[in-house]
Each structure stands twice: as C-alpha cells, then as structure tokens.
Amino acid sequence: MPKRPRATASDFDPEVLRLFDQYVHGDIDRRGFLAGASRFALGAAGAVGLLAALSPRFAAAQQVTPDDPRLSARRLSFESPDGHGTGSGYLVRPAQADGPLPVVLVVHENRGLNPHIEDVARRVALEGFIAFAPDALFPLGGYAGDEDAARTLFGRLDQAKCRADFLAAAVMLQGIDGGNGRLGVVGFCYGGSIAHFLSTRVPTLRAAAPARSMTCRGSAPSCWWCWPTTTNASMPAGPRIATRSTRPARRGRSTSRLPPSTDSTTTPRRATTPTPPSRHGGG
C-alpha cells in the first residue's frame, strides 16, 4: 500500500492553524485546542487526529542519522559564569576536514534541544561547517523527550541567564579547536530572538539568520521572542541578518517588519526594547 503523504499547512483550515499557534505558544492548553478544533472535525476524536497531524514527527523528518560516518558528533559542556554556570550542547563537525572551518551556532525553539534541532545541526555540518546546538533546558535536566513537557519546563527558565548562556556559547565557539574564527548563528522562532540578541552583543558575528516557522507569531508585536532585547544605540554595524518566514500573513499584516524597500538580507534590523510578558511560552 503506498504511503500517504503528510498533510501541509494548506490542507488545514486557517482557524485550526491559529488554534495550533496558540497551543504551541502556551496561550491555550491541549484541552483548549481540542475544544476549538472539534468544530472543524468529527467531534473530539477528530480533533485529536488534527492535533496528531499538526504535531512534529522527528523520525519522519530526519535527514541525517546520528551515526552518519561523514560526521563526528559529541556533547560539549562550556562555562557560563554570567548564566547558569555551565551550559551544554551538541557539537557536530565533518569527520574529514582539509583545514579550519567556519562555525554555526544553531538555536532551538521553546522546547529545548530536541531531535529535530540535532538533525539540523548535522545538516549544517555536512555543508562544511562546525555546528553547535546548545540546550537551554540543560540546567533543568535537558530536553524532556516530550514536546508538551519540554514546553512547560521551558517556562521555568530564567531567560536573562539563558541569554547569557547563549552569549557564552558564542564566545567559546570563536576559539573552538578546528574553527577559523568566523561565526554565524541560525535560530528558529525562540531561537530567532536569540539570533537577534547575539547580533547586538557579538561584534565579530559574521551573520545571523532568524528563521520563523508557520506557527511563530514573529510578524506580530505580541511575540516578544522575535524582538531583540536592545536599543537602537547598542546595535553593531557588522552582522548581516537574513530573515525567513513560512508563516502565512495575518489579515492586514505583512510577514516582515522591514519596509518593502529594505533588503533584509544585508541590512541589520533596528528595534525597540520590548517588555517581556510574565510567562515564557514563545515558539
């Protein structure tokens, strides 16, 4: 029997996607999603099916196996005196390299270092980079193995210390063995905010790529994760910031905060300082 292709965003009612957006960002719980989604399915059982269809399947999405012989991967701890004291992450590099390599810091969403982000780090390494993916949940025991549990655990983190941890990781990577001192960062949703943050704190950062997914509210001011915690005066001129969003635009809103005439691949963003909400549930 042929394998049924997985549904894409266009296969779901926009209201169901909005409900999932709220669920992922912690605005509603699982029961709230199921109650709302039941209007678009055959009762509670159909709503459960919608949630399953929208939830990530790490095994199906994996592109590079953890034991790929082309790569060398290991866990690496680093000191973070201004953060949680010690951080940890997943370090991947090509098994065979002709010389020093550029380094990419890979930053996860609001569920910690899950199998998907580890796979992304391996993909980056196969392109000829040293990739390092820290786990913000390391101080609380690391990724919980379950997305809902990880999201709940993430809300208990001290975000000021988390930013200090990522900053310490960036500093460590600039002198890592086998690296050439050239550092870039890519972040997904919550990680996008960290990419912005590092672009304001690491003058030698060569590039920052904040990537926002379909369910990230990065195009709306209410999503404080995607705004750098900085003022205009503290933004260095060096890093190039490329942005990407696969999220459909909301009615009356663009998916980009940059003016239409601005080239977002070469112009650093200028931003205001947001007021973080009391909960930490960004995507």
Q: Kindly report whether the global pTM for this prediction surpasses the value 0.75.
A: no
pLDDT at 278 over 60: no
pLDDT of residue 273: 33
Pair type for strands 85-94 and 130-134 = antiparallel
Q: Which residues pair with 85 in a beta bridge?
A: 80
Ranges in the chain annotated CATH 3.40.50.1820: 61-245
pLDDT of residue 151: 85
* Mean pLDDT score of the chain: 76
List pLDDT tens digits, range 32-46: 888 888 888 877 778
pLDDT of residue 212: 61
List pLDDT tens digits, range 59-86: 667 899 999 999 999 999 999 999 999 9
Query: Read out DSSP for 193-205?
Result: HHHHHHHHH-TT-
Q: Select from 116, 128, 114, 115 the least CA-distant residue to 70.
A: 128
pLDDT of residue 4: 63
pLDDT of residue 3: 60
Percent of the chain with pLDDT over 90: 44
pLDDT of residue 121: 97
Which one of 3.40.630.10, 1.10.340.30, 3.40.50.2300, 3.40.50.1820 gives the CATH number of domain 61-245? 3.40.50.1820
pLDDT of residue 272: 32
| Tokens matching residue 281 | 């549930």
pLDDT of residue 263: 31
User: Residue 104 in 3-state DSSP?
Assistant: strand
pLDDT at 260 over 60: no
pLDDT at 264 over 50: no
Q: Report yes or no: 209 and 187 within 8 Å, Cβ to Cβ.
A: yes
Percent of the chain with pLDDT over 70: 70
Highest mean pLDDT among 19-28, 212-221, 223-232: 19-28
Split at pLDDT 50, 70, 90, the class of 6 is low
Measured CA to CA, the distance from residue 273 to residue 235 in angstroms comes to 12
pLDDT of residue 185: 96
